[in-house]
């Protein structure tokens, strides 16, 4: 795998899986597609790896995403970390029944053509199932060698604290970006404990790419796009932050990678920085 042309640094997931801090989120790959769309998705994924991205995040619930990743990249290059998630049922509602978590994990293994998933994340805690049962099922999968490291997603700081008492947590994936910082307490805990924090919707599903939006638009300069500034802001926010922007466009993919070169001065966007 080629070295990326960026300077965002690296982070070791679980203290062992070292990745560059700007990853790729595969949620926006098409769910149903014809041959030309499949070829375009393969080209996008291969270009991401060529650009030095070595963390790709997907989920059992993302339609054909896992199969597309395997189709484009298997056999996987050394150092590439594929992270996936499970535990969502119909209507994207949480389903944390142990049998569902096992089925999702085993189906992801098949789709991704893997014996072990490097990072498997609980997509969202299910309030109808005790957290102890959900994480107990995940611990069994880890102990069977089907999962290497465990992450959680869409959690509060209290849920993260409870989870960490039940199993080692390597990453947290919550919605977080320059305009939405409700998960700041979770990020602070991750930073204190050396847990990777993977903000999804890092540019608010593309919304922050609009140059008219407050602090991002105001900060645009030197040819940088608002989306690049939003990503650079996240990379600067904390050394445990691992943004996973998604796109279906080669142009936007390259633009996102270039965001890691953008060195925001201290104090840039001060109105949105934490105190």
DSSP-assigned letters across all residues of 1-23: -PPPS----EEEETTTEEEES--
Is residue 76 flagged as an active site residue?
Answer: no
Identified catalytic residue from 11, 24, 62, 149: 62
Per-residue confidence (pLDDT) for residue 205, from 0 to 100: 58
Indicate the domain borders of the chain.
Answer: 10-267
Per-residue confidence (pLDDT) for residue 215, from 0 to 100: 53
DSSP 183-226: THHHHHHHHHHT-EE--BSTTGGGGGG-TTSHHHHHH--TT--H
As a whole number of angstroms, the distance between CA 228 and CA 262 comes to: 8
> What pTM, to 2 d.p., does this model score?
0.90
Identify the three-state secondary structure at position 119: strand
Say whether domain 10-267 belongs to CATH 3.20.20.100: yes
Q: What is the mean pLDDT of each run of 10 residues along the chain (275 residues)?
A: 58 98 89 75 96 97 94 97 96 96 98 98 98 98 98 98 98 96 98 98 70 54 80 94 94 92 50 41
Per-residue confidence (pLDDT) for residue 151, from 0 to 100: 98
């Amino acid at each position: 795998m080629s070295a990326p042309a960026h300077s965002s640094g690296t982070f070791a997931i679980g203290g062992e899986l070292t990745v560059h801090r700007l990853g790729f989120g595969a949620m926006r790959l098409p769910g149903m597609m014809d041959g030309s769309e499949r070829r375009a998705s393969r080209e996008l994924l291969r270009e991401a790896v060529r650009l030095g991205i070595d963390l790709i995040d997907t989920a059992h619930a993302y339609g054909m995403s896992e199969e597309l990743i395997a189709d484009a990249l298997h056999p996987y290059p050394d150092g590439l970390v594929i992270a996936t998630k499970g535990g969502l049922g119909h209507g994207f509602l949480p389903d944390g029944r142990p049998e569902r978590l096992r089925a999702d994990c085993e189906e992801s293994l098949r789709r991704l053509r893997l014996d072990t998933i490097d990072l498997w994340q609980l997509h969202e805690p299910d309030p109808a199932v005790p957290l102890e049962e959900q994480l107990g099922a995940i611990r069994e999968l880890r102990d069977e060698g089907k999962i290497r490291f465990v992450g959680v997603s869409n959690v509060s700081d209290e849920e993260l604290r409870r989870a960490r008492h039940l199993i080692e947590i390597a990453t947290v994936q919550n919605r977080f970006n320059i305009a939405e910082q409700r998960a700041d307490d979770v990020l602070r805990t991750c930073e204190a404990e050396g847990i990777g924090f993977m903000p999804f919707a890092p540019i608010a599903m593309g919304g922050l790419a609009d140059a008219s939006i407050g602090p991002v638009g105001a900060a645009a300069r030197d040819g940088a796009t608002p989306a690049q500034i939003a990503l650079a802001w996240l990379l600067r926010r904390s050394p445990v932050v691992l943004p996973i922007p998604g796109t279906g466009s080669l142009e936007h993919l390259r633009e996102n990678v270039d965001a890691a070169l953008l060195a925001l001065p201290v104090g840039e966007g001060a109105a949105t920085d934490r105190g």
